[in-house]
């Protein structure tokens, strides 16, 4: 019985690790695409109008910051599942 | 770093042993220890350094100020210029200049607490602990709400924030709830988590490659691939300098955007 419980515990730990890894991977997909879009379009804008590069760069960092937050929350969930 | 070395040296039986995350982040107090209010550990010491270092830089810059800046005065002046041109002017315009001291202090405090991540023998970003990012986020939350209430009045600030202009009536309840949650709850949370998670991730990345280097160093037959993680480690160190700067910049610019939004409602 104790053996079974220990096994179940191990299995639960394994599932936690798998879930954490998968969760982080899934959480990184959207922001990855999003940051690519943001930066790509910012580069297009800067290439078309180099004199507005400063403003575009500031806005680009803002966009990156907002997009990236989702991936970071995924990372925090990963840390919590694995270590907390 | 000591724990890191200990973790690598302690076992010679083979296999890669990643140190427990507690031993990377939880440091024992070494001054006034034993749960007193003044107990100080490495993280606290880094925060004190992050507070003192900018002060020293600016005091030195003022004491030896010349018309043509040299040395430390160049650093101080160009950083002030950077915050003014790239953060305040881009987001709030000239009437945001009165928040310049606040934003500059934020920028310097966060940057100096982050940059210890790559300074040899310290190698711990103090912002990888949640306490200070959370406190700074709450501070920013209080500041931008106070600015909004002061410049627009309580009810009109609340109305302008929750009800964006040009929303059709049927969608209004939904939009109002979303705007309320995103402005008053998600903003401070994401501000704190962004800084914390970025620094923690960077720290873990550096530790991972340092452990890898160390373990390969102990195994002679792997000598042909020893250089690979070391090169990556050096590259990542450079990358983390960029991240430390970028996170300070992003935290400050988001603060400026929030204060600017509270100053001038959308029309």
CATH number of the domain to which A35 belongs: 1.20.20.10
What pLDDT does residue B223 have? 67
Touching check for B84 and chain A: CB below 8 Å? no
CB contact under 8 A, A61 and B190: no
* Check: complex ipTM more than 0.85: no
Give me the residues of chain B with pLDDT under 70, please.
Answer: 1-16, 218-224, 267
Looking at the structure of chain B, the number of domains it has is 1
Domain region containing B65: 2-263
What pLDDT does residue B222 have? 59
Statement: residue A82 has pLDDT above 90: no
What pLDDT does residue B27 have? 83
By CA distance, what is B257's nearest residue in A? Answer: A62
**Averaged confidence pLDDT in chain A:** 88
C-alpha–C-alpha distance, residues B64 and B79, integer Å:
17
- Structural contact between residues B109 and B50, judged by C-beta atoms closer than 8 angstroms: yes
Looking at the structure of chain A, the number of domains it has is 1
Q: Coil, helix or strand for B124?
A: coil
Nearest CB to B198; choose among A54, A66, A72: A72
The secondary structure of B45-107 as a DSSP string is: HHHHHHHHHHHHHHHHHHHT--SS--THHHHHHHHHHHIIIIIIHHHT-GGGGGGHHHHHHHH
- Structural contact between residues A71 and A26, judged by C-beta atoms closer than 8 angstroms: no
How far from the centroid of its chain's Cα atoms is residue A35's Cα? 10
What pLDDT does residue B9 have? 45
pLDDT, tens digit (0-9, with 9 covering 90-100), for B207-223: 988 888 877 776 666 56
Q: Is the pTM of this model over 0.90?
A: no
pLDDT, tens digit (0-9, with 9 covering 90-100), for A18-55: 888 898 899 999 999 999 999 999 999 999 999 988 88
CB contact under 8 A, B253 and A58: yes
Residue B267: CB partners within 8 Å, gap ≥ 6?
B165
- Structural contact between residues B150 and B133, judged by C-beta atoms closer than 8 angstroms: no
By CA distance, what is A74's nearest residue in B? Answer: B197
CB contact under 8 A, B90 and A61: no
What pLDDT does residue B40 have? 85
How far from the centroid of its chain's Cα atoms is residue B189's Cα? 14
What pLDDT does residue B221 have? 60
What pLDDT does residue B12 have? 45
By CA distance, what is A52's nearest residue in B? Answer: B90
Domain region containing A27: 2-83
């Amino acid at each position: 019985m104790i053996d079974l419980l220990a096994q179940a515990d191990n299995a639960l730990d394994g599932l936690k690790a798998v879930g954490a890894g998968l969760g982080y991977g899934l959480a990184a997909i959207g922001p990855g695409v999003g940051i690519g879009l943001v930066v790509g379009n910012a580069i297009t804008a800067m290439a078309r109008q180099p004199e507005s590069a400063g403003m575009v760069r500031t806005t680009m960092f803002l966009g990156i910051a907002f997009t990236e937050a989702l991936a970071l929350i995924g990372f925090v969930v990963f840390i919590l599942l694995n270590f907390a | 770093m000591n724990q890191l070395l200990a973790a690598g040296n302690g076992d010679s039986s083979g296999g890669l042993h990643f140190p427990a995350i507690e031993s990377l982040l939880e440091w024992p107090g070494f001054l006034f220890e034993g749960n007193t209010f003044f107990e100080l550990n490495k993280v606290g010491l880094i925060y004190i350094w992050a507070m003192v270092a900018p002060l020293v830089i600016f005091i030195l810059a003022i004491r030896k100020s010349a018309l043509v800046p040299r040395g430390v005065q160049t650093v101080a002046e160009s950083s002030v210029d950077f915050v003014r041109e790239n953060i305040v002017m881009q987001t709030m315009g000239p009437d945001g200049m009165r928040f310049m001291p606040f934003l500059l202090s934020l920028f310097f405090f966060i940057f100096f607490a982050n940059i210890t991540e790559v300074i040899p023998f310290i190698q711990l970003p103090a912002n990888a602990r949640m306490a200070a990012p959370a406190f700074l986020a709450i501070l920013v939350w209080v500041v931008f709400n106070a600015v909004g209430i002061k410049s627009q009045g309580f009810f009109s600030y609340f109305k302008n924030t929750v009800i964006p202009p040009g929303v059709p009536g049927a969608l209004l309840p939904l939009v109002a709830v979303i705007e309320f949650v995103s402005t008053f709850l998600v903003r401070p949370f994401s501000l704190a988590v962004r800084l914390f998670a970025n620094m923690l991730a960077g720290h873990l990345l550096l530790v991972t490659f340092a452990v890898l280097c160390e373990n390969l160093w102990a195994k002679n037959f792997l000598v042909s691939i020893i250089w690979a993680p070391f090169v990556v480690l050096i590259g990542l160190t450079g990358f983390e300098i960029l991240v430390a700067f970028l996170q300070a910049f992003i935290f400050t610019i988001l603060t400026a955007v929030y204060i600017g939004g509270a100053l001038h409602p959308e029309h």
